[in-house]
Amino acid sequence: MATNSGLERKDNGQIDLLKAAGGWRGIAESVCPGLVFVVLFTITGALNVSLIVSLAVAVVFTVARLLKRETLTQALAGLAGVVISVFISRTTGEAKDYYVPGFFTNAAYMAAMLISILVRWPVMGVIFGYVRNEGLRWRQDAGRMRAYRAATWMLIAVMGLRLAVQLPLYLADQVGALGATRLIMGLPLYALGLWLAWLISRPVAAEDPAAEPASGSSTAGPASAGTTTP
């Protein structure tokens, strides 16, 4: 079930952040189009050229996956995002509008996570619960519910921080600074938030159904491969 959530644990029990980001290729697919856009626009000031090259980079990544018969989900999602960004920026003629879709995406995620907390289905509990082999049993434990609410608030804070920093730059027409902060506060900040959310929602050993025996125990390792302490 862990693999269904898109997250997995490493042998040491920590969340595999690299795999969660889609590996190095997934990181490149996420970062490169925006990086190319902001660098080209900063150097040349040519909006159309910057938009076309940014879109071309996203297309190349997608075609490369297609030719290798690899999973296209992440590449297509990234391509769709770039297409929308290019369309909006080209329509308005404003380079800063390349980043507008990201504002709405962050706001939508924040709203969805907040709703999940209010209805007592915190989204990080649903995701991490399966990664930790807890299923939905955590919903019957007040302590685990609080932990997963806190974990979900951590991700909401990440999205909110992005908006708090980037919206003023957008309103001030600081395209270069906006592009740089978008890159820095993209996957790196998300990975940090995800890791912190994992830590603060970590169950104590006695509560963890997937916990390994304490050091020195004569009991062998976990019954199923890949099951480790979070």
What's 29-62 look like in SS3?
Answer: HHHHHHHHHHHHHHHHCCHHHHHHHHHHHHHHHH
Q: What is the pLDDT of residues 151-205, one digit of tens each?
A: 999 999 999 999 999 999 999 999 999 999 999 998 889 989 999 999 999 986 6
Whether the predicted pLDDT of 109 surpasses 70: yes
Strands (DSSP E) contained in 28-158 are none
Q: What is the pLDDT of residues 37-93, one digit of tens each?
A: 999 999 998 999 999 999 999 999 889 888 887 777 777 888 899 999 999 999 999
Whether the predicted pLDDT of 3 surpasses 50: no
Evaluate the CA torsion angle 161, 167, 172, 176 in order and state its sign: positive
| Dist. CA 182–CA 162, nearest whole Å | 8
Least confident piece of the model among 75-84, 125-134, 162-171, 216-225? 216-225
Evaluate the CA torsion angle 152, 122, 110, 87 in order and state its sign: positive
Whether the predicted pLDDT of 229 surpasses 80: no
Q: What is the pLDDT of residues 4-29, one digit of tens each?
A: 345 666 665 567 777 776 677 778 88
**Average model confidence (pLDDT) across the chain:** 83
Q: Answer yes or no: pTM beyond 0.85.
A: no
> Cβ contacts of residue 66 below 8 Å, gap of 6+?
72
